[in-house]
């Protein structure tokens, strides 16, 4: 059995990746920042993964965790779009943490690195009738998470060349699907919809993919000796209203807001979001920079390269939505 390390193993993608790797016969080191926190590790232990201490901002923990490892899947990154201190909570772990992973891979002589980037590093707007591809980069990112993921991947490619590391990057769009034990901003919105806490639909356009398909993309890239460069993993692109209508179609008991916010009022959303958080304790979801980054744009991504070169065959998106609904109901609406 090959031994591999997964950073950020207790996150949405991390857990699904560990699960898939174990099913395929790998010996997996599951890297987490709080190995003694049972709330964050019990589900990983049930997979018979080896829990190891990894803080990507502490180089020595990465070097220690990579003992005897042939491959590394660098998944860990804070998915935080409402941080009050993005320089410390978003930029530093994403950019510096990724650089530390590359240094550790070099120092330990790891054979292959699969790094989780994001479609936000590709861009957030498609020319009419055109899809964004792996050749594109987000040159106009302003939202802290988008800027950090873009800078981190560019820096990773520079270091991979400098250190002569065999690296492949996977770029997923917004991930839904089961097996998450704490929310991401993407999954949180689905629970809020199911609870009837979304008063109107925002006129925003996003792309989505099932987390299990993203895990598969990582493993296919690792197992294919010819894999190289960047691979986009995305399956469904639409305005939020279309996603919400699909959720209602699958489960008619989930009510959909009757109103869609007029586009000219998008700029007022961060203020309403802040007030709702202060007065009603609802989770924050939209800052001014978030609206500027994504408002009025329609990003459609091409996954042709990963399907053609790695034989990636994602599941039907309706199945993904259905499984997400069932998981939220089971895990969070008990």
- Say how far apart CA 168 and CA 117 lie, in whole Å: 10
Res 283 pLDDT > 80: no
Helix ranges (DSSP H) in the chain: 12-23, 38-45, 59-65, 86, 97-108, 144-163, 185-194, 211-223, 240-250, 269-280, 288-294, 304-310, 317-332
Instruction: Give the model's pLDDT for residue 54.
Output: 98
Binned at pLDDT 50, 70 and 90, residue 280 comes out as: confident
Residue at token pair 């704490």: 182
Residues 181-197: tens digit of each pLDDT = 999 999 999 999 999 98
Binned at pLDDT 50, 70 and 90, residue 284 comes out as: confident
Instruction: Give the model's pLDDT for residue 125.
Output: 84
- Say how far apart CA 297 and CA 70 lie, in whole Å: 41
Contact, 308 vs 226, CB < 8 A?
A: no
- Say how far apart CA 44 and CA 21 lie, in whole Å: 12
**Average pLDDT across the chain, whole number:** 96
Res 127 pLDDT > 80: no
Using the CB atoms, write b or e for 209-239: b if 16+ within 10 Å: bbbbbbbbbbbbbbeeeebeebbbbbbbbbb
Residues 51-66: tens digit of each pLDDT = 999 999 999 999 999 9
Domain 3-180+208-237+299-317 classification at class level:
alpha beta
Res 265 pLDDT > 90: yes
Domain ranges of the chain: 3-180+208-237+299-317
Res 281 pLDDT > 90: no
Q: pTM value? A: 0.97
Res 300 pLDDT > 80: yes
């Amino acid at each position: 059995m090959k031994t591999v390390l997964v950073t950020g193993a207790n996150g949405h993608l991390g857990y699904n990746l560990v699960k898939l790797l174990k099913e395929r016969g790998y010996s997996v080191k599951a890297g987490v920042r709080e190995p003694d926190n049972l709330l964050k590790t019990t589900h990983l232990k049930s997979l018979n993964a080896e829990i190891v201490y990894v803080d990507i901002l502490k180089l020595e923990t990465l070097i220690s965790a990579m003992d005897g490892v042939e491959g590394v899947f660098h998944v860990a990154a804070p998915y935080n779009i409402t941080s009050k201190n993005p320089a410390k909570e978003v930029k530093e772990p994403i950019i510096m943490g990724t650089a530390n992973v590359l240094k550790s891979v070099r120092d330990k002589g790891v054979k292959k690195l699969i790094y989780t980037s994001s479609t936000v590093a590709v861009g957030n707007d498609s020319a009419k009738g055109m899809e964004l591809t792996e050749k594109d980069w987000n040159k106009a990112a302003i939202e802290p998470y988008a800027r950090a993921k873009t800078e981190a991947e560019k820096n990773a490619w520079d270091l991979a060349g400098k250190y002569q590391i065999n690296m492949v990057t996977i770029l997923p769009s917004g991930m839904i699907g089961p097996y998450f034990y704490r929310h991401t901003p993407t999954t949180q919105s689905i629970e809020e919809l199911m609870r009837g806490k979304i008063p109107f639909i925002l006129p925003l356009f996003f792309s989505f993919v099932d987390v299990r398909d993203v895990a598969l993309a990582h493993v296919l890239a690792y197992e294919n000796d010819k894999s190289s460069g960047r691979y986009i993993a995305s399956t469904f692109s639409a305005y939020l209203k279309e996603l919400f209508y699909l959720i209602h179609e699958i489960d008619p008991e989930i009510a959909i807001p009757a109103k869609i916010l007029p586009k000219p009022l998008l700029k007022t959303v961060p203020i309403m979001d802040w007030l709702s958080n202060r007065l009603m304790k609802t989770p924050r979801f939209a800052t001014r920079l978030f609206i500027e980054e994504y408002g009025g744009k329609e990003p459609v991504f091409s996954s042709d390269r990963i399907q053609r070169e790695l034989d990636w065959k994602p599941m039907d998106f309706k199945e993904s939505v259905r499984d997400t609904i069932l998981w939220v109901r089971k895990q969070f609406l008990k």
